[in-house]
Structure formats: structure tokens, C-alpha cells
Amino acid sequence: MSTYPLISWKVTVPAFTIDVSVNGGASETLNVVAGDYWGWRTGANALLPDVAASGINAPLARALTTALATHTGITAANPVYTRNDASDGVLYAITGIGVTDVALTATSDPAALALFGLTSTTALMVAGVNQTITTRTAGVWRPYDVGNPRCEPVFTAVGSGAWSPYDASSNDRIRVGGQLGWVVDWPFVNASDITREVNGLADYLPLANRASGDTNGTLDDLIDAAADGLELLLALPPIGNAVIDYRTCIIPRAANLTRDEFTTEASIGSRRYNVSIPLLETRDYTP
């Protein structure tokens, strides 16, 4: 799975309750707080000072940290629950003195756990080993096994609707009314990462490393979010050990577009597609 570039948007998480069992003991009922959370937030960045509080893992992290603190007898700041996106899935990492088994079950709204890439009952730690979840979380377009994605800066003059390659002379044109944008290309995207319509078909699932019923994070979801006017975060590939560079963007004219506007077939049988997405930056740009 290619980590960057990727595109994230906010997902509405409903209020619901979970039962958390630690070390096989009696379960504890905890509340997950409703809110709008980014599907992907990681790393420090001037645009994103509240990463820990606003990523989609945050509401579960708060509830689980409370449960771990209760069952380990140490302060709430020490047991931690984090979501780290490994190359083969989502690793839910838990640390805490004496913790060997952690499981959670959604009680009031089992479907809500699917937003986090979890089933209605999920083991997060078994015999002291953190579990890797291969389903996607909601709110992020991060297709699997796409070849070598490219992210090229472009600019457009206000009202022109035309994109031009970005070069040293573009700064002057941006200063007088142009806008900075990006064209992101993924050359080989599997059909299950494009549309929810094929996620139940066994022939397509292995190509995208998806489990049956895993409908999060498709191109359809991204287009729907853009059409609803949601702000998008483009995470650019970091250079070396540099901090991830996020850009706030929109997809121009998104309300009038379908997935056909962004895709062309890259293999016979429509199992892989080339995906090209134009993004227009919405924050002020200072060359």
C-alpha cells in the first residue's frame, strides 16, 4: 500500500457506547463522543496543530485509554491506544502495564465501529500482541498497490478553468490572481478501491487487499465528500524525514462530476484503473 500521496476528509462519528474487556475481566461500558473527525491525521504540521484530538482514532482512543487506566491501576495518561497505518493494514497499538488482552464490542450502534475499520466485536490485543486490522477506516482515499503515484503542482488563472504546469514563473502569476493546484495520478488502482459496487465480489477483493464488506475509503466516498463541499487534505510525500506537508483543497466542480471523470481503464476487464484527480488549494499561498 502506498502511503503518500493521500487525500483525507472529515467523517461524522455518531455517539455510541462500547463494552471494553481487559485481560479477560468484566467488561466496562464507555461512551464514544460524537463529532467530525479527519480520516487521516498524523505528524506535526502548522496547519494541523490538533492532530491527536481530531483524527478518527481520537474518540476510541479516549474511551480505551480510560478503560486501560482503570484496569491497570496507573494514570490515564500512561496507557495509550493509537492507530498506526502499517503497509499491510491498520495496527491498533496498545501499551499499559499488565495488559495482555483487550477486546471491544459496540453495544448501542454496532455499525459505527465500521467507520474505524473494526467489526462489531474486535480483539485489539491477544496474549500481549497488538492486532493488525486490514480493513480501511472511513475518510481517507489511500488505494492499495497502485504502482508509483505522482503529485504534480499546477496553477490556474482565476476563471480560466485551465491548468498549466507549475514553474519558476508561476509565482508571479499566482500573485496577480492565479491559484495553486495539484494533479495527483495513481496509475494502477484496483476496482475495489474505486467503487463500493464490487466490494462484495470475491474476484476483486484480493487485488485491493480488502475483506468482504469493507466499503470504506473508495473513490466513490471521496467524490461524495467533495460534492458535499467538504474540505480535503492532500498529504504530500515527505522528503527524507521531513514533516508531512498537508494542503487544504477542493475538487473543482465536484458536484457535477462522476467517477468516470477521474478514471481510465488500465487493464482488460476493468479490474485496474488509472486515477487522476485535480485539486485546487483553498488556503492562502505565499510563494
CB 51 within 8 A of CB 128: no
Query: Can you tell me the distance from the alpha carbon of 66 to that of 96, in angstroms, rounded to the nearest whole number?
Result: 11
String of b and e for 121-143 (b: at least 16 CB within 10 Å)?
Answer: ebbbbeeeebbebebbbbbbbbb
CB 207 within 8 A of CB 190: yes
Query: Can you tell me the distance from the alpha carbon of 50 to that of 30, in angstroms, rounded to the nearest whole number?
Result: 23
- Does 243 have pLDDT greater than 50? yes
Burial (CB count <10 Å: 0-12, 13-18, 19+), residue 201:
exposed
Where do the DSSP E strands lie in the chain?
Answer: 6-8, 10-13, 16-22, 28-32, 35-38, 80-86, 89-95, 102-106, 121-126, 129-130, 132-133, 140-141, 150-157, 164-165, 178-190, 232-236, 245-250, 263-265, 272-281
- Does 51 have pLDDT greater than 60? no
Q: What is the average pLDDT across 232-242?
A: 76
- Does 124 have pLDDT greater than 60? yes
Instruction: List the grid coordinates of 276.
Output: 487522476
Predicted TM-score of the model (pTM): 0.83
Distance separating the N- and C-terminal Cα atoms of the chain: 32
Task: List, for residues 132-146, the tens digit of each pLDDT value.
Answer: 877 788 998 888 867
Query: Can you tell me the distance from the alpha carbon of 263 to that of 160, in angstroms, rounded to the nearest whole number?
Result: 23
CB 135 within 8 A of CB 118: yes
Pick 212 or 106 by higher pLDDT: 106
Query: Can you tell me the distance from the alpha carbon of 74 to that of 128, in angstroms, rounded to the nearest whole number?
Result: 18
Q: Which pLDDT score, from 0 to 100, does residue 159 have?
A: 57
